[in-house]
A and B are shown apart, each in its own frame.
Chain A
Amino acid sequence: DAMVIQNPRYQVTQFGKPVTLSCSQTLNHNVMYWYQQKSSQAPKLLFHYYDKDFNNEADTPDNFQSRRPNTSFCFLDIRSPGLGDAAMYLCATSRSAQLAGGSDTQYFGPGTRLTVL
């Protein structure tokens, strides 16, 4: 009963060749996130959507773009992958409900491991 699905699980691309990673969810959550995680590091938030509203992190490079055509799907586009973009890319979702000013739990997909040759 996968709730957050990511495809592909492994992606190999060449330096500079655009790549698109996809995420879908069956939880009907309003918020979807994309994280980048490198080995032995914390997941780093790239951007998130609250419904259709796109929110970019200030330090996310322009090389990374995202699309959310509907509630269930979200895509991460890397326009010109560099060697430094090799990482695990994690999609996550959460409900929109605020809990006394706090945050709701985020549910992660299995990730896409990107290799750049």
Chain B
Amino acid sequence: RKEVEQDPGPFNVPEGATVAFNCTYSNSASQSFFWYRQDCRKEPKLLMSVYSSGNEDGRFTAQLNRASQYISLLIRDSKLSDSATYLCVVNRVDSSYKLIFGSGTRLLVRP
């Protein structure tokens, strides 16, 4: 079982749609959670950290369910510019400095 698992997609949605991605992680001791965005042939960029209480940044909402060990990302009112791969990231329990990346979920927003 992979340490961080994501549905690879692609999710193909029209502009204005709401789309949700889920991610599961295997180690219940993980403490830090992030969503990164990666455009084609570019580097990953931090989209948002994920906090236990859930957090929102504009059209983006992230939630953490520790009991079920999954993280979600909700994107409302999708824009063409949201088309990218979204990487779920969890810290490695054996080292505070290391992160484990999921393979990413690809989102395509069409006009």
Contact = CB atoms under 8 A, between A and B. Distances in A.
Interface of A: 31, 40-43, 45, 48, 50, 55, 88, 90, 94, 96, 98-111, 113
Interface string B73-111: 000000000000001000110011111111110000000
Contact of A98 (B92, B96, B99): B96
Interface of B: 4, 8, 31-32, 34, 41-46, 49, 87, 91-92, 95-104
Nearest to A42: B101
Most buried by A among B44, B100, B103: B44
21 contacts: A42-B100, A43-B87, A45-B98, A48-B97, A88-B41, A90-B43, A94-B97, A96-B97, A98-B96, A99-B32, A103-B32, A103-B98, A104-B96, A105-B34, A105-B46, A106-B46, A106-B99, A107-B46, A108-B44, A111-B42, A111-B43
Contacts of B41: 88, 113
Nearest to B31: A102
Nearest to B98: A45
Grouping DSSP codes into helix (H, G, I), strand (E, B) and loop, the B interface class, with mixed when no group exceeds half, is loop
A99 B49 CA distance: 12
Contacts of B32: 99, 102-104
B53 to A, nearest CB: 14
Contact of B44 (A50, A90, A94, A103): A90
B43 to A, nearest CB: 4
User: Which A-B residue pairs are the 9 nearest by beta carbons?
Assistant: A102-B32, A102-B31, A103-B91, A108-B43, A42-B101, A103-B32, A98-B96, A42-B103, A101-B31
Contacts of B46: 105-107
Contact of A103 (B8, B45, B87, B99): B99
